[in-house]
Structure 1
Amino acid sequence: MKERVIIAGVETPGNSENFLESMNELKNLTETVDGEVVGSVTQKREAVDRRTILGKGRLQDLATLVNSRDAELVIFNQELTARQNQSIADAVGARVIDRVQLILDIFAMRAKSKEGTLQVELAQLNYLLPRLVGKGVELSRLGGGIGTRGPGETQLETDRRHIRRRITSIKRELKAVSEHRERSRQKRLETPVFQVGLIGYTNAGKSTIMNLLTAADTFSEDQLFATLDPLTKQWRLPSGFQVTLTDTVGFIQDLPTQLIEAFQSTLEESRNMDLLLHVVDAAAPGRDQQEETVLQLLSDLEMDKIPLLTVYNKMDLLPEGSFVPTLFPNVCISALAKGAGAVLTEAIQKRLMEIMVPYEGYVSMSDVYVISRLKQETILLFNEFDEEKNSYQVKGFAPEKSQWLRRISHEMDR
């Protein structure tokens, strides 16, 4: 049975531009954890009330709505302090959580790998540590509804020293995992594998595109944060060029700082990409804001210098001729439509050739195995036997650090 929820938020001069989109997103986030939004309370103020976020009158309206709709939970769009949470809960007579706790709850649902689970637990403990005042009763009842998918009551005792010890322990475990990941990353960097990463706002369709290109069979439901743990698969372009394709966690506006810190090692996977596919839901009402959020996070993570191709997805949900792209270069597709894979692949190859270095040269008959390697490690566009030179003439595009640029060039100079 779904938990009955009322969402609440305050519009201030600082958040007025995207307030409606943010509240709608809060509703979608709530539905992602199987909550039923039965009401909404908003207020426009110069600043939030320091004690109860909402003003006295609107707080009373919220209490009345909770009672009349038999709501069990109130979720605030603003981050709440422990004191604010307690004051609001006392006033409305229902359990209260905030947007950050809700997102942490979704991540707890989605985490599957050991690293992902540890990262979520670390984020939850960092969130809860300063909010332990007055939480003893609530923390002893974890697991009973939205916002309660904590690491478990043994980790959430009100003894701060115990929680700090657990945080230290998790960081130690994550450091070991991170070091292993770094060794694996270095091995990949030493091999001539071109890396492509899927990034974008949550629910833009990254996992669907991953499946479209690689038949990876990843979870790709129409849900926020459907993918949490990064997945890397091999993908071969029609020319034979082999790359790795990595699907990552979706971004969201006001992504909790606890999560950015906790998922640093996961996000670092994307830092080493040679090309990023920025997947955008073309039909999203707040598309401009979503694009801005992703680009800002890329800048914050020092990933804004990586070559980008914007993939406008879900074009089938828009009236024909109504779409105007804002990011370039781009490709417009409907990932579920017939032929979308071919259109996207062609656009990716075109973008690859823009960021790669062209080469032209000859391969002797005694080195014919080189042609096979060129097909796998470069985009080989031309390959014909030249009887006059008794060699194969080759043309194509290679990654900037490719050994073949030097080798083919050397053959030309001989």
Structure 2
Amino acid sequence: MFDRYQAGEQAILVHIDFPDENAREDLQEFEMLVSSAGINALNVLTGKRNTPHTKFFVGSGKAQEIAEAVNLYQADVILFNHSLSPSQEKNIEALCQCRVVDRTTLILDIFAQRARTHEGKLQVELAQLRHVSTRLIRGWTHLERQKGGIGLRGPGETQLETDRRLIRERMVNIRKRLEKVERQRQQGRRARNRAEIPTVSLVGYTNAGKSTLFNMITNAEVYAADQLFATLDPTLRKIHVEEVGRVILADTVGFIRHLPHDLVAAFKATLTETREAELLLHVVDISDERRSENIEQVEEVLTEIEAGEVPQLLICNKIDNLDDIEPRIDRDENGMPIRVWLSARAGIGIELLFEALAERLGRQIVNHHLKIPPNAGKFRGELYQLNCIADEQYDEQGNCHLQIKLPAKEWNRLVKQDKTVIEGFIEN
């Protein structure tokens, strides 16, 4: 049902410059998308127009030039760095006798390649179905009525109508399954809220280095590569931040210019981790000349998913690609961290990130001296798991004297387990 690419397919790329900023796309980014999809670009055809051509998008003369390039290079597919209407795709295919794929379909296909989890695959399929439902007529206009013969004559149902009905049914089924997954995610979030564990979400433009930073902080093995949309499925890991305690860190899908609305809608459940986070780490490739534009695009998507009001800490990544830039923390007029300069790949400035997290997430800290009897080793082990023990001594009776330092919320959670016993451990 979907346009699928085989690795190594040969393509002609088409890019048109428009004076309208909202219609303008980036050619270099498009070439990275093509490379990420595993497609070999044979030639790039560029041009300028004030507005898209109604029939061919590019104008009749440029359309003929594309057809000649397809014959010359024996291309398998024509890739447009723009969103085309179904009729424009059909007209160009008829003229060039070659498959035509627009920017939106290309991004959807890359997402389909990257999806690993059951939820991710469902979300991508839902986005693809939404997109392809407007383009079914391309493949089925040649088919006649299915029904015919004595006793069966009448309006019947065309193949096109059948496919639309099947797609609607499939979309309903996928939505139900995604709602079930979302309920499971909500249960996990409620459990974290009850335990008062804050969530920090990594966001940023695609290929900004989010997964590399995630792996560096958590010692995870999330797939990270120098390509667009290397990460698709969200990953959650628990980390420890000094004077804060346990923190959940979430790695999420990267954003891009003009991210298809079907994708944003399909990934609403996944992006809830971003919307409900206590803090967003906005990772920026500081060595990218388009960093300001990338930041604006990320802000637009965050606003679209209702996460624009979540507090942010800007992470200026890849400082190893620049000269004379040292890792540092930039602060506002109140002394609160607003930017951290680091390199996730080189492991430079990671300790500054943890320092900034401690300050941004810092809450009331309690200090206690505890006397733990020998038969309360389980409670002592739980304190070690919280990484809150500052000093430990033993007396002649085998009692363990601990000096602990941890967030007040963590201590209150422990006291709730058995208030009488735990408060009896406190030394005056």
Scaled to the shorter chain, the TM-score interval is 0.7 to 0.9
CA distance in 2, matches of 1:402, 1:304: 32
Q: Which amino acid in the other structure matches residue 362 of structure 2?
A: M
Report Cα offsets for 1:193-244 as digits up to 9, x if no partner.
1212111111111111111111111111112111111111121236682212
Range with bigger deviation, 363-372 or 101-110: 363-372
Where 1:329 maps in the other structure, the secondary structure is strand
Q: 1:18 to 1:161 in 2, by over 3 A?
A: closer
Partner of 2:339: 330
The question of whether the paired residues in 2 share the 8 Å contact of 1:18 and 1:289 is answered with: no
CA distance in 2, matches of 1:323, 1:365: 42
* Correspondence 1:14 to 2:20: yes
CA distance in 1, matches of 2:194, 2:299: 29
Report Cα offsets for 1:144-174 as digits up to 9, x if no partner.
xxxxxxxxxxxx9962111111111111111
Structure 2 residue corresponding to 1:225, chosen from 222, 225, 229: 229
Partner of 2:334: none
Taking the TM superposition and a 5 Å limit, the aligned residue runs for 1:114-263 are 114-136=118-140, 159-237=163-241, 241-263=245-267
Partner of 1:26: 30
Q: 1:189 to 1:397 in 2, by over 3 A?
A: closer
Q: Which amino acid in the other structure matches residue 348 of structure 1?
A: F
Taking the TM superposition and a 5 Å limit, the aligned residue runs for 1:1-400 are 2-15=8-21, 19=25, 22-136=26-140, 159-237=163-241, 241-321=245-325, 329-337=338-346, 339-340=347-348, 343-359=349-365, 365=371
CA distance in 2, matches of 1:325, 1:242: 22
CA distance in 1, matches of 2:137, 2:21: 29
Report Cα offsets for 1:228-277 as digits up to 9, x if no partner.
11111121236682212111111111110000111110011222212211
Report Cα offsets for 1:78-124 as digits up to 9, x if no partner.
21121100111122232100011001101111111111111111110
CA distance in 2, matches of 1:164, 1:265: 20
CA distance in 2, matches of 1:374, 1:11: 61
Where 2:32 maps in the other structure, the secondary structure is helix
CA distance in 1, matches of 2:298, 2:14: 25
Q: 1:182 to 1:204 in 2, by over 3 A?
A: same
Where 1:89 maps in the other structure, the secondary structure is helix
Where 1:159 maps in the other structure, the secondary structure is helix
Q: 1:125 to 1:402 in 2, by over 3 A?
A: farther
Specify the structure having the higher radius of gyration (Cα): 2
The question of whether the paired residues in 2 share the 8 Å contact of 1:241 and 1:376 is answered with: no
Where 2:100 maps in the other structure, the secondary structure is strand
Q: 1:324 to 1:85 in 2, by over 3 A?
A: farther
Q: 1:326 to 1:62 in 2, by over 3 A?
A: farther
The question of whether the paired residues in 2 share the 8 Å contact of 1:383 and 1:395 is answered with: no
Structure 2 residue runs of 5 or longer lacking an equivalent are: 1-6, 143-159, 332-336, 394-400, 417-427
Q: Which amino acid in the other structure matches residue 26 of structure 1?
A: F
Q: 1:209 to 1:361 in 2, by over 3 A?
A: closer
User: Identity rate of aligned residues, in percent?
Assistant: 34
Where 1:5 maps in the other structure, the secondary structure is strand
Cα offset for 1:184? Answer: 2.0
Partner of 1:141: none
Partner of 1:147: none
CA distance in 1, matches of 2:55, 2:300: 31
The question of whether the paired residues in 1 share the 8 Å contact of 2:244 and 2:406 is answered with: no
The question of whether the paired residues in 1 share the 8 Å contact of 2:255 and 2:298 is answered with: yes
CA distance in 1, matches of 2:127, 2:213: 29
Q: Which amino acid in the other structure matches residue 109 of structure 2?
A: D
Where 2:45 maps in the other structure, the secondary structure is strand
CA distance in 2, matches of 1:180, 1:322: 43
The TM-score, its normalising length taken from structure 1, stands at 0.80
The question of whether the paired residues in 2 share the 8 Å contact of 1:136 and 1:158 is answered with: no
CA distance in 1, matches of 2:65, 2:244: 63
Report Cα offsets for 1:10-63 as digits up to 9, x if no partner.
2222237963xx221111111111111121122222210111110122222222
Q: 1:363 to 1:99 in 2, by over 3 A?
A: same
Where 2:121 maps in the other structure, the secondary structure is helix
The question of whether the paired residues in 2 share the 8 Å contact of 1:123 and 1:259 is answered with: yes
The question of whether the paired residues in 2 share the 8 Å contact of 1:198 and 1:247 is answered with: yes
Where 2:274 maps in the other structure, the secondary structure is helix
Range with bigger deviation, 77-86 or 60-69: 60-69
Q: Which amino acid in the other structure matches residue 357 of structure 1?
A: R
The question of whether the paired residues in 2 share the 8 Å contact of 1:79 and 1:98 is answered with: yes
Q: Which amino acid in the other structure matches residue 3 of structure 1?
A: E
Q: 1:62 to 1:207 in 2, by over 3 A?
A: same
Q: 1:280 to 1:201 in 2, by over 3 A?
A: same
Where 2:284 maps in the other structure, the secondary structure is strand
Where 2:138 maps in the other structure, the secondary structure is coil
